[in-house]
Structure formats: C-alpha cells, structure tokens
Structure 1
Amino acid sequence: MADNSIHVVVADDHPLIRVAVESALDTVPALVHVGSAADSTELITLLDAHPCDVLVTDFAMPGGAHGDGLPLLQMLRERYPELQIVVFTGLDQAAIVQALFEAGISHILSKADDVSHIAAAVMAAHVGRRYLSPSIAPLLPSRGTQRPTLALSPREREVLTLFVAGWSVNAIAEKLDRRKQTVSTQKVNGMAKLGIERDADLFKYAVELGLSATAP
C-alpha cells in the first residue's frame, strides 16, 4: 500500500510556537512530524539527516550558522529543491510578503491568524497549490496589478542602503555628490516602493528587504 503521509519539519526559535505548530500538525493523521529545529544550524542538520516533504519555518530566526530570512530560504531552495516551504511569520509587512512571493515562496502564514491554517497550508504546499492566510493575502497585489514590487532603481537602493547603515541624508548627498533634495526624493520613492512608511520600519526590516549589505 502506498504511503500517503506528508513528512513535515518545523523550525522556530520560540519553544511555545514550535509546540503550537506541532500540535496543529497532529490534528491531521496524514501529517507526520519528523522533527523540530530552533535555528538554521539545527534545521540544516535535521534536513540532511531526515529528508521531508514540507518545512514549516519562521522567517526571522537569528542565531544559526546559516542565517535567517531570505538568504536562508534561498539556500534551502537550492540545497533541497524538492522541499516545499511554508513560512510562518509575525512580520506582516507588505514589502516582506512581496519579497517572499518573488523569491518563490507561495505558502505564507501570519502568526496573527488561527493555527488551523498550518495543516491546510502544509497540504496545499504538498500538492503545489498556493496558500496565504487571511492576514497575508491582502498584502500581495492582486493579479493583473501593474504596481512594481521591490523595483528599486540602483540609485534608490544605494541611498536606502547607506541610510540604514547610519548615514544622514546630508552625508549621503555629499558622499554621492548629489543634491540633498535629490537624495531625499530617492529615499522617499524607494520607501514607497517597499511599502515602508516610517524610518523605524526601514531599519527594523532592513535585513529582510536586502538593505543590510555593506554600504557602497
């Protein structure tokens, strides 16, 4: 008889969240919990030892040797091409959700939504069907919308990267030999494209938005 079980690994740096996800998986007999990890180091060790069908992982999970956020997800997609990934996150920012979607992650859950979505998302991921929990779906442009997503110009990205690295608008203008007004406009336009309204959020989500590299 064919084994129709779906083998699932869980990754989250908060023990209570891991327990909640594991309990949600246990409600569906077809879902087999293979193991759990608290950071990227444990996750890679676990996946290397126990191949699985679906990974349910937090997005921001610091402390591991392989990082977290988009770089970790991209590594996982390259290292385990058959692995389906469900991202379970508390970072309900439009720019981050759109960046995940553009990176090929189409199963995204908000921690603000009911845990019943976890099992549903795992089953959807296993058959290659997109799944977005209720708080996540509105953060993505509707199909046919022409609004660019993370379409920063090179100069906008340059300005924002310097800004999150601690440079003031005046200092950036002097460094790049541009007018202060030009730099300010590029900063405002770049943030608008990212769906970020406040400087505090730009700093908070810099890593997830790919703006934390060494400043130019």
Structure 2
Amino acid sequence: MTIAHTYHRVSAPSPHPYGQKGESVIVMESCPITALGMRNILAQSCGFADGVQLVSNLSEIPGLMHHRPAKLLIMELCGEEESVLDGLRLIALCLEHWPSTSMIICTALDDPRVLQLLTASGIKGLVLKQEPAVALTQCVQQVISGRRSYSHKVRQLLSNQSSGGKALTARELDVLSYLFSGKSVTTAALMMHRDVRTVSTHKRNAMHKLGFQSDGELYLQGKWMAKTGPVFAR
C-alpha cells in the first residue's frame, strides 16, 4: 500500500525510541485521507502518538511555527490554490527562521529537476507518495536519528541528474513567479525595483539550476510550477 492510500484505524501504539512525549509534528497535506494515513504512520511506527497537527495549506505553517516550532515538519509542496513555487519559498523561510526543525518533503511530484532542487535546499528527508508506506516510516526514523534520508525511488530518479545542484534563491523564485504570470523581464524589474540586468541574471541562474537551455524550455516545461490546483497531473 502506498503512502497516498494509507489509512487504517490506529491501535494503541507501543513505546518507541523515536518520538518523545511533548514533541510536536506538523503534517501539511491537502488530501484528508492521506493526511490521516500519515498521522497513523507517525503514531504506529515512529512513536508520535500525540502532538501531530494536520494542516491542509502552506499558509497555515508559519503561524504554527511562530507559536511553537515543531520538531518535525512533513509537507507536500503545495495545497489548494498554492503552487510549487510557494512551497519552495516556504522551505527557504523555515530553514532560515527555524533551523532546528527537521523538514521532510512527502510529495507526489517526481520531476527530477525539482527533486534535485529539494535535495540542494537543505531539507532532511524526501519521499514520494507513490512509494510503500514503509518508505515514510524509514525516512522519519532516519531523520529523527540525525541523518538525511532520500527514498529509494528518489535516488533512482536523481541517478541521471548532475551532482552539485543548488537551490533557487528567494529572488530567483520571485522572478520566475513574475515571468510565469506573463510579465516580461523589464516589467518584473520595475515591480521588484531592480535593474533589468539583475533580473536577467536571476532568470538565467534559475534556468541553469532547473536545467533549461532556452526560454522556450523554461515556459513550456517549467510554467506548471507556478500553477495552482492539481499541478501534478500536468
């Protein structure tokens, strides 16, 4: 059974060395059934019987983190009316403001370009929803033990990617958002109060990190990252 289809009634969990009483976990997943399944995995296999908060949108996470930083944040890259670019921004925000929180991305997205960006971003774990439920269990256990964990399928998808990738910067994400919304580089520069040459450099760097060789590739193959809604069925 895959992570995306895991849902069963939780029996009383036995004591477990990974989760500790009083530690909080945030799970961001827009599908209620998948979210409940993930909470069950955390309770039964990872020892997090209490303190698991389920949210359905990225926008809910900063407020919760300001109130009480979580030990572990497990999230999809976007919720309803949110985009993958929004998810990449939130990852950067959390890593900057709450570096002690371990982040795991559990996603249906299997685009190697974006998976490489994620591994370069500083997250601790990466697993695909299409994988067996045990993949999430193993990822959580390894991350809580202080190790990075990329699932078997993720490693397979990344095997043909060049090593040494870099994460997109906040400015590069802003530039992509403007461009994908139909703005020109000149208009983006005006709206960002930046020189056109600076914005062009951000665009070029973003294209390089994503592996796009031309504007045509960027718009045809990358524009889905700014879409809201069911972006994984592109």
TM-score, normalised on structure 1?
0.66
Shift of 1:70: 0.9
> RMSD over aligned Cα, in angstroms?
4.1
Query: 2-side partners of 1:51 and 1:147: how far apart?
Result: 30
User: Cα distance 1:41–1:198, how it changes in 2: closer, same or farther (>3 A)?
Assistant: closer
Larger Rg: 1
* Counterpart amino acid of residue 95 in structure 2: R
Partner residue of 2:200?
none
- SS of the residue 2:221 aligns to: helix
User: Cα distance 1:36–1:141, how it changes in 2: closer, same or farther (>3 A)?
Assistant: same
User: Which of the residues 116, 128, 144 maps onto 1:110?
Assistant: 128
User: Which of the residues 4, 18, 27 maps onto 1:10?
Assistant: 27
- The alignment of Structure 1 onto Structure 2 pairs a total of residues equal to 186
Q: Is the 8 A contact 1:12 1:58 kept in 2?
A: yes
Shift of 1:206: 4.6
Q: Is the 8 A contact 1:106 1:130 kept in 2?
A: yes
Query: 1-side partners of 2:226 and 2:67: how far apart?
Result: 33
* Counterpart amino acid of residue 16 in structure 1: I
- SS of the residue 2:92 aligns to: helix
Query: 2-side partners of 1:71 and 1:160: how far apart?
Result: 12
Partner residue of 1:172?
none
Matched, 1:203 2:220: no
Q: Is the 8 A contact 2:57 2:78 kept in 1?
A: no
Query: 2-side partners of 1:150 and 1:81: how far apart?
Result: 16
Query: 1-side partners of 2:64 and 2:95: how far apart?
Result: 15
Shift of 1:149: 5.9
Shift of 1:150: 7.4
User: Cα distance 1:72–1:160, how it changes in 2: closer, same or farther (>3 A)?
Assistant: closer
Shift of 1:148: 5.8
* Counterpart amino acid of residue 40 in structure 2: S
User: Cα distance 1:195–1:90, how it changes in 2: closer, same or farther (>3 A)?
Assistant: farther
Query: 2-side partners of 1:48 and 1:192: how far apart?
Result: 34
Shift of 1:135: 2.1
Q: Deviations over 1:52-77 (max 9, x none)?
A: 3211111122557xx83111011111
Shift of 1:163: 6.5
Give the alignment of 1:106-185 within 5 angstroms.
106-141=124-159, 164-166=180-182
Identity across matched positions, percent: 22
Q: Which runs of 5+ in 2 are unaligned?
A: 1-15, 185-195, 197-203, 228-234
TM-score, normalised on structure 2?
0.61
User: Cα distance 1:45–1:4, how it changes in 2: closer, same or farther (>3 A)?
Assistant: farther
User: Which of the residues 77, 89, 103 maps onto 2:107?
Assistant: 89
Partner residue of 1:183?
none
Partner residue of 1:194?
210
* Counterpart amino acid of residue 137 in structure 1: R
- SS of the residue 1:86 aligns to: strand
Q: Is the 8 A contact 2:76 2:107 kept in 1?
A: yes
Q: Deviations over 1:82-131 (max 9, x none)?
A: 10000011111111111111111241111111122222211211122121
